[in-house]
Chains A and B, each alone.
Chain A
Amino acid sequence: MAKMTLDQLRALRAQKQEELETRSVEGKDIQVIVGMGTCGIAAGAKQTFDAIVAALEKYKLANKVVVRQTGCMGLCYVEPTVEVIMPNMPPVIYGKMTSDVAEELVVKHLVEHSLLDNHIFDKPAIDIVKR
């Protein structure tokens, strides 16, 4: 593959958009937020992020999902952390979301609407909780 120019990128986008318009689009109402603080990066959040983007494309969800990053969510002990917010599901913070479980997250939570029980962590580390 040769170096893509910005014009080629625009053309590719136009082509993708045509493909997308043939599917039913409900608007982007799913948010996936990856913790990208020092703790997250050290635990491999960068790879997790990449794997999530690839999985969303694979399961044809790319046009419905917004992927964001945030700093440390206070769950340094179970990084990488990923928060998923979507309609008809409780907002969930998942921990230990290494790149190899990213696809499972997309399939179970986003496609099948079920939770990944072993990865749910909702309490920040003790030093940032008021005692």
Chain B
Amino acid sequence: MHFAIGDFVLDLIQNSVEAGSSRIEVDIDEAMNGVYVCIFDNGCGMSPDEIDKAFDPLKNSAVKHPGRKAGFGLPFIKQAVEQADGSFKISSEKGKGTKVCFSFPKSSIDSPPLGNVPELFLNALNMAGASELILRRKRSSDGLSYEVKKSELVEAVGDLTSASSLSLVKQYLASQEE
């Protein structure tokens, strides 16, 4: 099981990348009463039947990893949300994309911590595949709010797989949290 909400988010972004998305948007809203997350992509999408299968950790379609039927990404997040009395919603259309939204209430002792957001964003930006990734972060307690676009960062520092670019983007993301 993942430790922080950021781990679940990264797992879902990885799913979007593997679904062949060219554009992924992530919203993380740290409100007074809990954390709200939405991830939407324009990847291959799933039929209702495929969504059902995705939630059974041991009966996956074996498309992503031939020969292996285990897949724990979505089952993990669903279980964590149910334990903490949060909300979870997935909607997907074959060939169009997928939208996953979930929340964890602050009042529940079972809600995981949010985790390190700049670290999460750096990992997400480094993933190959999606040419556009838009990351939005809000925190109500101090009014923090910013948006990061992969295309703008690539234009500013170059390829995001180079360790020197990653190091610069890391500083940039850390500064956005100030």
Spell out A's residues near B (CB within 8 Å). 1-4, 6, 9-10, 12-13, 16, 20, 28, 32, 36-39, 41-42, 46-47, 49-50, 53-54, 56-57, 61-69, 71-72, 74, 127-128, 130
Contact = CB atoms under 8 A, between A and B. Distances in A.
Contacts of B14: 36-38, 41, 71
B156 A53 contact: no
24 contacts: A1-B175, A2-B178, A4-B172, A6-B153, A13-B168, A36-B10, A36-B14, A39-B72, A42-B7, A49-B123, A53-B167, A54-B170, A63-B162, A63-B163, A65-B162, A67-B126, A67-B162, A67-B163, A68-B128, A71-B14, A72-B65, A127-B70, A128-B65, A128-B67
A38 B14 CA distance: 9
Contacts of A3: 146, 175-176, 178
Interface centre among B1, B6, B72, B152 (most CB of A within 10 A): B72
**Chain A interface main SS type:** helix
Given A9-B172, A56-B167, A71-B65, 13 more contacts: A6-B152, A13-B157, A13-B165, A42-B3, A46-B10, A50-B119, A62-B163, A62-B164, A62-B166, A62-B167, A65-B162, A69-B127, A71-B18
Interface string B31-66: 000000000000000000000000000000000110
B2 interface: yes
A110 B68 CA distance: 33
A65 B163 contact: yes
Interface in B143-178: 146, 152-153, 156-158, 161-172, 174-176, 178
A114 B158 CA distance: 31
Given A10-B156, A67-B163, A46 B123 contact: yes
